[in-house]
């Protein structure tokens, strides 16, 4: 708006002087769009954009387009000489939130266009049962459910894990099959709930930083490896063991704990794209078909996982953290007649996929 000359305005007991020819312009400062990492076009009307500065106003369209508006002269009075920064947070139901730091370079003209942001869907659980194909159709215990190569995933290979990732990892991070060698056993002296990072073991003999502690249900259907960070105070027998990351699942008192060392085997590979904490799969430059793999070995975020899910005594299996792709090809017990190409239903937190072998 433009005012013809100076004048005074009285309001709430105060007198304000309006300066002649004071011009302000409310306009788009930033423009951009979000996409769906899997399907491309973003059609969710529930997208919200939060801005780190209260003087800027986000506006969102139903097709993923957005703009950040404001008064540039007020919000960026020194942009002619210095850059400015702000942060956007994108949220939508069924998607993981994304934080985008933005730097507006000195001398930039408005609006500033930023690159598209791909939103990542919240992963789901795939579970089911493996039954014999012959009559009577009894459950199959100890059946391995693993992933096969998927022609719809260009340039990368998907490997499902028995337990989700503990850490986020960048694209290019090392991934490799490992051979695990056990060197001791213990039991839990108390229950270990999901999210805990401390185990109370009947013995810690031989354990040290970097060693692996395997916890599992009797059937092996629930299994994960904790990496030892350090031991608690006291003698090296019974006592506390601190892990580098919290457990994904809960284990009761008396659960066996097996100690392992890991050595690389097979060809090394890298992550094709970044991975999030909670992902139950890795997208890498090769498909892994061994029993276990390591991600980011030799670093503070090293972690180890069994490949594939295992059915329990009643034939049930579960794969948590399934996401990142349109479909996942699963096979039961290497049976050529038990292959299912499953289109992931992201609107259902649990997808049911049964096998007969």
| Domain ranges (residues) in the chain | 7-120, 124-356
Distance (Å, whole) CA 213 – CA 241:
9
pLDDT range class, residue 150, cuts 50, 70, 90? confident
Written in H, E and C, the secondary structure of 163-211 is: CCCCCCECCCCEEEEEEEEEEEEEEECCCECCCCCEEEECCCCCCCCCC
**Mean pLDDT value across residues 134-141:** 92
- What is the share, in percent, of the chain residues with pLDDT greater than 90? 82
Task: Report pLDDT digits (tens) over 199-232.
Answer: 999 999 999 999 999 999 878 899 999 999 999 9
- In CATH, the architecture of 7-120 is Sandwich (2.60)
Distance (Å, whole) CA 206 – CA 128:
39
Task: Report pLDDT digits (tens) over 81-116.
Answer: 999 999 999 999 999 999 999 999 999 999 999 999
Task: Report pLDDT digits (tens) over 314-350.
Answer: 999 999 999 999 999 999 999 999 999 999 999 999 9
pLDDT the model gives residue 2:
45
207 Cβ neighbours under 8 A, 6+ residues apart: 184, 201, 213, 228, 231, 236, 241, 259
pLDDT the model gives residue 18:
66
Rg from Cα positions in the chain: 27
pLDDT the model gives residue 153:
79
Task: Report pLDDT digits (tens) over 21-34.
Answer: 555 678 999 999 99
pLDDT > 70? residue 6:
no
Q: Which pair of tokens denotes residue 20?
A: 């002649």
Reduce the DSSP state of residue 73 to 3 states and report it: helix
Nearest partner of 284 among 267, 298, 301, judged by Cα? 267
pLDDT the model gives residue 202:
95
pLDDT the model gives residue 14:
77
The pTM of the whole model exceeds 0.75: yes
Average pLDDT over all residues of the chain: 92
**Mean pLDDT value across residues 276-305:** 96
The number of C-alpha atoms within 13 Å of 81 and in the hemisphere containing its C-beta is 2
């Amino acid at each position: 708006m433009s005012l013809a000359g100076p004048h005074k305005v009285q309001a709430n007991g105060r007198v304000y002087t309006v300066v002649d020819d004071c011009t302000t312009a409310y306009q788009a400062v930033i423009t951009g769009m979000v996409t769906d990492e899997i399907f491309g076009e973003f059609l969710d009307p529930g997208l919200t954009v939060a801005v780190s500065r209260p003087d800027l106003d986000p506006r969102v369209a139903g097709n993923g387009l957005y703009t950040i508006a404001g008064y540039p002269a007020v919000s960026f009075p020194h942009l002619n000489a210095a850059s400015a920064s702000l942060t956007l947070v994108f949220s939508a139901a069924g998607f993981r939130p994304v934080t985008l730091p933005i730097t507006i370079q000195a001398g930039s003209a408005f609006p500033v266009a930023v690159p598209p942001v791909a939103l990542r869907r919240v992963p789901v659980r795939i579970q089911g049962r493996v039954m014999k194909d012959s009559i009577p159709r009894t459950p199959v215990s100890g059946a391995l459910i693993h992933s096969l190569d998927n022609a719809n995933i260009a340039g990368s290979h998907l490997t499902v894990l028995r337990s989700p990732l503990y850490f986020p990892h960048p694209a290019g991070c090392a991934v490799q099959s490992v051979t695990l060698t056990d060197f001791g056993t213990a039991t839990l002296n108390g229950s270990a709930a999901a999210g805990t990072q401390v185990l109370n073991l009947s013995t810690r003999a031989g354990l040290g930083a970097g060693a692996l502690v395997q916890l599992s249900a009797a059937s092996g259907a629930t299994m994960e490896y904790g990496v030892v960070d350090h031991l608690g105070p006291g003698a090296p027998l019974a006592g506390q063991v601190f892990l580098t990351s919290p457990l994904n699942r809960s284990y009761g008192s008396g659960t066996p704990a097996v100690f392992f060392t890991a050595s690389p085997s097979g060809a090394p590979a890298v992550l094709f794209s970044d991975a999030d904490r909670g992902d139950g799969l890795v997208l890498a430059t090769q498909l892994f078909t061994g029993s276990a793999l390591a991600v980011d070995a030799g670093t503070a975020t090293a972690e180890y996982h069994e490949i594939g899910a295992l059915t329990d005594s009643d034939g049930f299996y579960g794969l948590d953290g399934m996401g990142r792709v349109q479909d996942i090809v699963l096979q039961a017990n290497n049976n050529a007649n038990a292959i299912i190409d499953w289109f992931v239903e992201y609107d259902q937190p649990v997808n049911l996929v049964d096998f007969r072998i």
